[in-house]
Chain A
C-alpha cells in the first residue's frame, strides 16, 4: 500500500463518551469483523474491561476501507481509555498517529478529559476530527454541543459530524472524513528504519509483543532488529498487524502500525517508548520516545500466606509485562512480613491491579491504604522521599514534612459552582481562577493536596453534581504541611501497616474514629484484643475487641454433612482475606479503614 493511502488515527474522548462503541461500528463497516463475531466493545478484550464496561488498555487494529473516491485505504485505528488514570496510554497512542477522532457525548457535552485529551492531541500536532455521539438519545443536544466544540476548536459547528455509534447512524461519514481530513503519514521507505514502540503486551509463546508504528524505512520478518535505548538486538519471532487479532505479515513499511513479537521475556529489555532500528543499517538517532509515567499513589501488597510471596512476585512481574506503568519494589513490614511496595497512576489503577491479582492469579492478598509520596526534611537538612507512612523517621528528628500538591481543574455546569467550591475547600484545596469555555459551563481551577484527591474525591464530586462534573489534575509542587504520624497498636504491638500520616488538627478526631472502626472490623479472637491510636507519643484512643467465647455448629442433622461443610468453607473463605499480625487476625478492610474516616 502506498503511504498516501494510509491513515493512522486514534479515538479519544472523555470516559464513556462512546469510543469503543464507535470502534465497533468502524470495524463492522469495514468488514474487519463479521457481524457474527461482533460483540459490544469488541476491542475491550480483558475480562475486567468487559465487566466494568471501561477501556483500560489501548488497542490497535488495522482496517481496509474502500472510500467513495474509489480508492482503497489502510486505516490504523487505536482505541484509547478515557479514565484519568490511563492518560499516559492516550499520549503514547497519539505519537503513533497523524489524526485523532475526538468523540463528544451529545448529552454531556465537553468534559474534563475531552479537554485534557484534546490538548494532548494538539501538542502532538495531530489533526483533530470532532464527532458528536449519542444523537439517538432523547436528551441529546447536538446543536448546543456542536457550538461548544466548534468554538473550542475553531471549527464550523455545522461541519461537525453527528453520529450514533450505538445505532450506527452516520458512521460512513466518519470513515470518509478520516480519509479526507487526516493527513497520510510522512516518511521515506528508503531511509534507515525507525519504528516507535507505543505499547506492548506479553504473550507466553511469543514473548513481549511490541506495538509499533513505522516512522521511516520498513521491516521484513527475517530482519534482525535493534532496540536503540536498550542496545539489544532481536530476531523477531514474527511481525504482523492487528486485524483485530494478531495476524503475521512478511513486511511492515513506513506509516504502518503493527507488532513485532520479540521473544523477549522481560519488559526491561523492550520498553515502551524505545525505537526499533535495523541492526544492519541502523538509524543515527532514536525517536524522542516518552516520559515514563510517574506513579501517584503507593500501597503495599502482601500475600495473606507468607508462602505465597514468590507467586505474588511472579504475578506482579507478569502484570508489568502488560502494564509498564505498574512499578514495585520488595518491602518488609513488621506486621505483614514480606511483600511489595507498588506505585500506581491512581486509585482506579490500583483497584484494577488488585482485582487482576486476585482473579487472574488466584492470590489471596492484603493491600494497605494508598499513600502519596512525601518529602521529609530531617534536622540535619537531608531530604528524603517516602511513599509509605511506615517509613516516616522518628518525629524527634523531623524538621518538616512536605506533601505533593496538584493543579486541579473541575469542569461543571454553573449551577453546581457552590457545591464544588465547598467540596474542594473541605479537602484543604484553594481556589485559583475560573474560565467559561462554553455557555453554562465553568472550569474552576484549584490547588489541592494529592492526598485529598486520591480517596473518593471523584465519587464525591460526581454525586454532588448529579454526575455532570468532571475533573483533571496534574502535579504542581511539594509544599510543607502540618503533618503528623498516627500510629495504631493492636494487642499492644504497633502495626506499621496501619500507620497513617494525617493533618495535625485531624489527628485526635481521626484517631478516635479509626479505633472505633477497627473495633468493629477486627473479628473477635480467642482472647481480648486492645486497639489503640497514638500520635506524638500520646495515646489518643483505646477500645477493646472482646474475646470470642463460642463458635461451634451444634447439630449435625440427619447425617447432612455437606451442609455443615459448606458453612465451614464459607467461614474459611472469610479468613482468606485476613492476615495474621502477631497472634491477631486482621481483615483487609482494616487496612483501608483509615481512608474513610469522615463518613457516616
Chain B
C-alpha cells in the first residue's frame, strides 16, 4: 500500500472564537489524557485492521489547539504511531499552535518528540481585529512564540493570517503582512474570513453589532497580498498557501499537498476525516461519543476506525471529479495530463471536453495540453471553476 498522510485531530481550545465552526470544545481540558489514550487505541485498531502494513509519509496535529497537549502527550501519540506505522520515510510532522499557549520549553519538548514543523495561528497583528475574532493572544505573543520556536530549533514555521475581518482596511492588512514577513516564516496561509452558519459572528452580523465583511475589499486585500508576498520571494502554490525557498527548496506543506493531490490519508480523533482505499470516512464529532466509541467499539473495515460514523465508498467517477476539484486548487502544479492519464487510464480532455472549452473561453483556466491550471483570475474565482467538475454524470463511455 502506498504511504499515507496521517491527520490527528485535537479538539480542545481555551475558549471558543466567535467565527469558528471547527469541531472543537472549550473548557473540557480535563478530558485530554483520556483523549490521548483513545487516539492511541484508535491508531492501533485501524493499523491492525489494515490489509497490509501501513507507512506514514506525513503527520499533522490539527485542531482545535494541539499545543494545549503537553510534550509527553505528543510524544506518546507519536510513539504509538511509529510502532503501528512505518514512519521511516516520514519527512514532515506538523503541529498547529496558538501563540500564547507555547513557551520555549514546551516547544523544545515537541521538537524532541519528533515534531519538525510548526503552524502558528497568528491571524492578525492588529489587537482590535484579534479581539473581534475573540483570539486570546496579543500581537506580541506571536513574535515571542516564533522566537521561542527558533530558539528551540524549529526550522520550518508557518503562519496563518486572516483577511476580510470586519473593520480591517488595506493599511491594517499590509501592517499584518509586514509583521508576518519580518518573522521570516517558511510558509504562509492567508484565509479569507468566512461567516459560517450558526456561529456567534453570524449572529453579531445579523443583529448589526459587527459590520458585514465586504467581498470586494477582501478581493483588494488579497490582490495586494499577492504582490507583496511575491516581492518577498514567496511562491503561491495553492489558492491560499505560499511557500518560501530555503536552500533552493520550496517549503510547501507536504501534508496538505496530499489532500489536494487526492492521495490517501488517515484521520484519527473526534470528527476526523480520512480517505483511503476508495473509502471516505468521518468520525463522530463529540468528545464523549468518540471516547466511548473507541473504548467499546471495534475497527470496521479498513480504513474506518471504531469511531467512524460516516463511511462512504467512492465510485471511480467521484474520485475523478474530486481529483479535479482538489487538484485545480494547486495554482502552481495544477493537474498534469500525464499524471491523470496514468492514474485513471483516461485523458482529461476526453472526460471534460466541454468544461475545459468553457473555462478557457472564460479565461478562468489555462490548458496547454500538458497541464490544466487556474488562471490568475481563476484563482480568485475558484468556485466558478470547481463547480463545473462536481455533480456531473459520467460520460456514456465511462465504465
Contact = CB atoms under 8 A, between A and B. Distances in A.
Contacts of B325: 564-565, 568
B191 A555 contact: yes
B11 to A, nearest CB: 10
Q: Dominant SS at the B interface?
A: mixed
Contacts of B363: 526
B278 to A, nearest CB: 14
A137 B133 CA distance: 57
Interface in A537-596: 546, 548-562, 564-565, 568-569, 571-573, 575, 583
A560 B381 contact: no
B273 A558 contact: yes
A22 B306 CA distance: 57
Nearest to B215: A550
Contacts of B237: none
Contact of A559 (B219, B275, B377): B275
B383 A562 contact: no
Contacts of A554: 190-192, 194, 239-240
Contacts of A564: 325
A569 B267 contact: no
Interface in A504-532: 526
B259 A553 contact: no
A552 B325 CA distance: 12
A565 B329 contact: no
Nearest to A556: B259
Given A549-B380, A559-B259, A572 B390 contact: yes
A548 B380 CA distance: 9
Given A551-B384, A559-B273, 17 more contacts: A550-B381, A551-B383, A552-B381, A552-B382, A553-B194, A554-B192, A558-B9, A559-B7, A560-B273, A561-B280, A561-B322, A562-B310, A562-B312, A565-B325, A568-B325, A568-B386, A572-B387
Contacts of B240: 554-555
B265 interface: yes
Contacts of B22: 557-558
A562 B380 contact: no
Given A554-B192, A561-B273, A562-B280, A526 B259 contact: no
A559 B322 CA distance: 12
Contact of B216 (A549, A568, A569, A573): A549
B84 interface: no
B236 to A, nearest CB: 13
21 contacts: A546-B216, A550-B215, A550-B380, A551-B383, A552-B239, A552-B381, A553-B194, A554-B190, A554-B191, A554-B192, A554-B240, A556-B326, A557-B22, A558-B267, A558-B271, A564-B325, A565-B325, A568-B391, A571-B387, A572-B387, A583-B362
Contacts of B222: 550
B390 A552 contact: no
Interface string B301-339: 000000000101000000000100110010000000000
A554 B219 CA distance: 12
B185 interface: no
Contact of A553 (B9, B282, B383): B383
B260 interface: yes
B260 A551 contact: no
Which 3 interchain pairs have the tightest Cβ spacing? Answer: A549-B219, A552-B382, A550-B219
A558 B215 CA distance: 25
B199 to A, nearest CB: 14
Interface of A: 526, 546, 548-562, 564-565, 568-569, 571-573, 575, 583
A526 B282 contact: no
Nearest to B265: A559
Contact of B382 (A553, A559, A561): A553
A82 B22 CA distance: 53
Nearest to A567: B383
Nearest to A559: B273
Nearest to A569: B391
Contact of A526 (B220, B322, B377): B377
B56 interface: no
B274 interface: yes
Contact of B383 (A549, A568, A583): A568
Given A551-B383, A552-B381, A575-B387, A559 B274 contact: yes
Interface in B363-392: 363-364, 377, 379-384, 386-387, 390-391
Contact of A551 (B7, B265, B381, B391): B381
B80 to A, nearest CB: 20
Given A549-B215, A551-B381, A561 B387 contact: no
> Interface extent on B, as a size class?
35 or more
A548 B216 CA distance: 8
B390 A558 contact: no
B272 A558 contact: yes
B218 interface: yes
Contacts of A561: 259, 273, 275, 280, 322, 326
Contact of A562 (B271, B273, B382): B273
A583 to B, nearest CB: 8
Contacts of A551: 380-384
Contacts of A573: 391
Contacts of B326: 556, 561
Contacts of A571: 383, 387
A552 B387 contact: no
B56 to A, nearest CB: 14
A565 B7 CA distance: 20
A558 B391 contact: no
B29 to A, nearest CB: 20
A567 B210 CA distance: 25
Contacts of A553: 194, 382-383
A552 B275 contact: no
Contacts of B272: 558-559
Nearest to B256: A556
B300 to A, nearest CB: 18
A111 B274 CA distance: 64
Interface string B238-266: 01100000000000000010011000010
Among A552, A564, A569, A571, residue most surrounded by chain B Cβ atoms (within 10 Å) = A552
Contact of A548 (B191, B273, B381, B391): B381
Contacts of B312: 562
Nearest to A549: B219
B218 A559 contact: no
B121 interface: no
Given A526-B377, A561-B275, A561-B322, A550 B192 contact: yes
Contact of A550 (B7, B218, B267, B362): B218
Contacts of B215: 549-550
A565 B322 contact: yes
A558 B7 contact: yes
Contacts of A559: 7, 259, 265, 267, 272-275
Among B190, B216, B387, residue most surrounded by chain A Cβ atoms (within 10 Å) = B387
B62 interface: yes
A181 B310 CA distance: 66
A526 B381 contact: yes
Contacts of B274: 559
Contacts of A550: 192, 215-216, 218-219, 222, 380-381
A453 B258 CA distance: 61
A560 B282 contact: yes
Contacts of B62: 558
A559 B22 CA distance: 12
Contacts of A526: 362-364, 377, 381, 384
Interface string B74-103: 000000000000000000000000000000
Contacts of A552: 192, 239, 379-383
Among A557, A564, A565, residue most surrounded by chain B Cβ atoms (within 10 Å) = A565
Contact of A565 (B192, B259, B390): B390
B187 to A, nearest CB: 15
A228 B274 CA distance: 70
A552 B194 CA distance: 10
A562 B318 CA distance: 11
